[in-house]
């Protein structure tokens, strides 16, 4: 009887599934929606869904073909390769159902992937507001993959489809990807399709197939061992998250009770804050106050005319990291307090009644609770202001800051919210989850290449990343090859990436740095064929892990791709990289560089950020001088140098560039028998 019951259950399930498939409406994959860009010089595969066994008629660019949906309701056809051009119309018919997708172009398709710095929106970048307002290039089209995780590779694309280059779409697109694509299109004169597949705060292992990790247990063992922690049951996950969430909330309540700022009148206008620390806003406070997780008070004074103070106003603070209580002239006007998901990414806008304002000086006070990472203001200067009906009074400038509670100094750590403490609540960080959910489904689409910006989430694991990153690149290429869509013209699919920029406060002395080590690990990937690197060591932001100066990053990627992939003659398309070093009998080190035509300094100073160490391992800043495409480096304090370093720091003072303005990539080299390795 139990066996018979199972058979009946299986039969019912099969009948239900068959019913769902047979009822499948005609559809076309989002990859071939209106405004799609399809790769030129490659066979064009079109696919979608329909009722099982349905005959499908497809018309595209003067070609007519047919297909039959299989038993799972999937149909697919392949058309011959086409030259760049368009627009074309795709007409798909099944019985009385018909889909008509328009404005489809044939050109070059590039995938833009990585974590938050690739996902950073155009509208938030420097110059992005103007770029967004002017978005109207009919030869550039955009598509974004919806964020999706999976434990198994998924075949169906999850996206709202392609969009034209227009302000309402461009502003929300990857700034680096957008600038890259516009640069390519202006140079090549062919349609460009940009596919954004990004997720902030994600490590490279999330974007790597599980099979690749399992085939490399010598360096991926800890990643594989972590998978069961991500795959616990929902009940187990919810229980753990709740426990950590309670601890997080109780800790916030505890430190708010413990700090005395409000009792001492730190929110009032008549407080004497002359001995508070000057803090230039907008910026995160880490470079000024240090790495503070806890409570910091911020104060700023603005002057209003009688007319400005006579009406209700709106206080715009931009993004405040992380929770806030905000007062104007001692009156609380608003706040975003715990719990609030993604508080640090939410812009604060508060109404200030006219009764609170007065002619003359008005004091804004903010009590900020920061639980992790940087704290302070996370928006641009133009997003911070007090707005009246006729005026905008900027809030950018010098604020006063005072630490009220330093959790690290007092308690050692700030208990984080449950979703950050429980791996199962962070599926986007699970090894392979984003490859499965956001990359694998695209592998059947011919593309011209990939651009990539990621690495922040792997800092501290540079040795592993040096192996993981090249393995990830190779695995993507293999996936496309297995789908019959390998690189065009006989090579590998080009892969170009951004090396981590400068970040955090600048050190006065040579230092060790997780990011310097991660940059070195990234550089190892250029040993793979058809892989290139854009150096961004000079366009980062000491105060912000998400630097807003994305235009030069996109343009440097484009310069490298135009030279390597499209054959444009540009000897300074790439940043100079370390080629070798030798030491003379006088202790002077000669550093040889690749791609160093026109080597110079950008500011007419001598080359900065070179350091030497002797047998004691202590690094000393060294003098340096350019000689053609080499640099000589020396220090009287290190007569017998053992190692040379350049730009080896979180935020080095760099000025060495080639004739095209591309900065020299950071490096270190041990000198043995007079040679650098």
Q: What is the pLDDT of residues 651-667, one digit of tens each?
A: 999 999 999 999 999 99
pLDDT of residue 23: 56
Q: Mean pLDDT lowest for which of 283-287, 389-393, 508-512, 528-532? A: 283-287
Mean pLDDT score, 571-597: 97
Query: pLDDT tens, 147-163?
Result: 999 999 999 999 999 99
Instruction: Give dist(CA 454, CA 436) in Å, integer.
Output: 18
Q: Which residues on neighbouring strands pair with residue 406, listed in sequence order? A: 294
pLDDT of residue 673: 55
pLDDT of residue 7: 42
Q: What is the largest CA-CA distance in the chain?
A: 93
Band (pLDDT 50/70/90 cuts) for residue 287 is: confident
Query: pLDDT tens, 553-581?
Result: 999 999 999 999 999 999 999 999 999 99
Instruction: Give dist(CA 516, CA 648) in Å, integer.
Output: 6
Q: Mean pLDDT lowest for which of 55-59, 420-424, 438-442, 598-602? A: 420-424
Kind and range of the H or E element at 383? none
Contacts for 359-362 with beta carbons within 8 Å, 24 or more apart?
359/304, 359/305, 359/306, 359/309, 360/303, 360/304, 361/269, 361/301, 361/302, 361/303, 362/269, 362/301, 362/302, 362/303, 362/304, 362/309, 362/328, 362/329
pLDDT of residue 175: 98
Please, are residues 120 and 378 in contact by the beta-carbon 8 Å criterion? no
Q: Which domains does the chain have, with CATH numbers?
A: 257-411 (2.60.120.260), 577-676 (2.60.40)
pLDDT of residue 327: 98
Q: How crowded is residue 257: how many other Cβ atoms within 10 Å of its Cβ?
A: 8
pTM > 0.75: yes
Please, are residues 567 and 530 in contact by the beta-carbon 8 Å criterion? no
With tokens 């070798």, the residue in question is 580
Share the mean pLDDT of the chain.
93
Q: How far is CA 314 from CA 54, 197, 335, 348, 393, in A?
A: 59, 36, 14, 10, 10
Query: pLDDT tens, 457-486?
Result: 999 999 999 999 999 999 999 999 998 887
Summary count for the chain: helices (H), strands (E): 15, 36
């Amino acid at each position: 009887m139990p066996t018979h019951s199972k058979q009946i259950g299986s039969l019912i399930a099969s009948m239900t599934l068959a019913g769902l498939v047979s009822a499948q409406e005609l559809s076309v994959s989002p990859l071939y929606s209106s405004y799609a860009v399809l790769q030129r010089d490659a066979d064009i595969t079109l696919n979608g869904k329909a009722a099982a066994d349905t005959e499908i008629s497809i018309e595209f660019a003067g070609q007519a073909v047919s297909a039959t949906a299989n038993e799972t309701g999937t149909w697919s056809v392949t058309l011959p390769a086409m030259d760049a051009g368009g627009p074309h119309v795709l007409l798909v018919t099944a019985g009385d159902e018909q889909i008509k997708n328009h404005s489809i172009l044939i050109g070059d398709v590039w995938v833009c992937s990585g974590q938050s710095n690739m996902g950073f929106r155009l509208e938030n970048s420097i110059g992005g507001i103007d770029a967004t307002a002017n978005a109207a290039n009919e030869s550039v089209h955009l598509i974004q993959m919806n964020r999706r995780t999976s434990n198994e590779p998924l075949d169906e694309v999850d996206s709202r489809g392609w969009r034209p280059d227009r302000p309402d779409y461009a502003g929300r697109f990857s700034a680096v990807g957008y600038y890259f694509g516009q640069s390519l299109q202006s140079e090549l004169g062919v349609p460009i399709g940009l596919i954004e597949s990004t997720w902030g705060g994600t490590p490279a292992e999330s974007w790597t197939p599980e099979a690749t990790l399992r085939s490399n247990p010598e360096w991926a063992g800890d990643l594989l061992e972590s998978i069961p922690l991500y795959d616990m049951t929902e009940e187990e996950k919810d229980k753990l998250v709740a426990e950590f969430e309670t601890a997080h909330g109780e800790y916030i309540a505890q430190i708010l009770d413990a700090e005395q700022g409000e009792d001492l009148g730190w929110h009032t206008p008549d407080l004497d804050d002359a001995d508070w620390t000057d803090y230039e806003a907008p910026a995160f406070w880490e470079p000024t106050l240090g790495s503070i997780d806890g409570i910091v008070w911020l104060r700023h004074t603005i002057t209003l005319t009688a007319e400005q103070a006579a009406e209700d106003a709106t206080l715009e603070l931009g993004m405040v990291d992380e929770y806030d209580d905000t007062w104007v002239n001692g009156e609380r006007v608003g706040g975003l307090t715990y719990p609030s998901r993604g508080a640090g990414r939410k812009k604060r806008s508060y109404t200030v009644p006219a009764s609170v304002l007065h002619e003359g000086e008005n004091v804004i006070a903010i009590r900020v609770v920061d639980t992790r990472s940087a704290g302070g203001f996370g928006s641009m200067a133009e997003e911070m202001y007090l707005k009246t009906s006729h005026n905008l009074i900027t809030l950018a400038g010098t604020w006063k800051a005072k630490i009220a509670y330093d959790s690290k100094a007092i308690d050692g750590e700030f208990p984080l919210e449950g979703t950050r403490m429980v791996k199962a609540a962070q599926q986007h960080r699970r090894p392979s989850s984003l490859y499965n959910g956001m990359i694998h489904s695209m592998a059947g689409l011919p593309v011209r290449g990939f651009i990539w910006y990621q690495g922040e989430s792997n800092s501290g694991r540079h040795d592993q990343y040096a192996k993981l990153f090249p393995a990830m690149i190779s695995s993507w290429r293999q996936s496309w090859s297995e789908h019959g869509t390998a690189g065009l013209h006989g090579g590998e699919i080009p892969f170009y990436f951004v090396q981590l920029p400068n970040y955090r406060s600048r050190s006065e002395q040579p230092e060790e740095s997780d990011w310097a080590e991660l940059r070195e690990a990234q550089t190892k990937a250029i040993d793979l064929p058809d892989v290139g690197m854009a150096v961004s060591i000079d366009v980062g932001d000491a105060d912000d892990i998400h630097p807003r100066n994305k235009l030069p990053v996109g343009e440097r990627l484009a310069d490298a791709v135009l030279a390597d992939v499209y054959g444009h003659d540009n000897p300074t398309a790439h940043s100079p990289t370390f080629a070798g070093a030798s030491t003379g009998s006088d202790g002077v080190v000669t550093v040889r560089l690749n791609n160093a035509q026109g080597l110079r300094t950008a500011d007419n100073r001598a080359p900065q950020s070179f350091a030497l160490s002797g047998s004691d391992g202590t690094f000393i800043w060294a003098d340096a001088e350019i000689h053609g495409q080499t640099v000589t480096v020396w220090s009287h304090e290190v007569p017998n140098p053992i190692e040379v370093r350049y730009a080896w720091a979180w935020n080095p003072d760099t000025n060495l560039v080639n004739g095209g303005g591309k900065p020299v990539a950071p490096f270190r080299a041990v000198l043995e028998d007079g040679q650098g390795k």
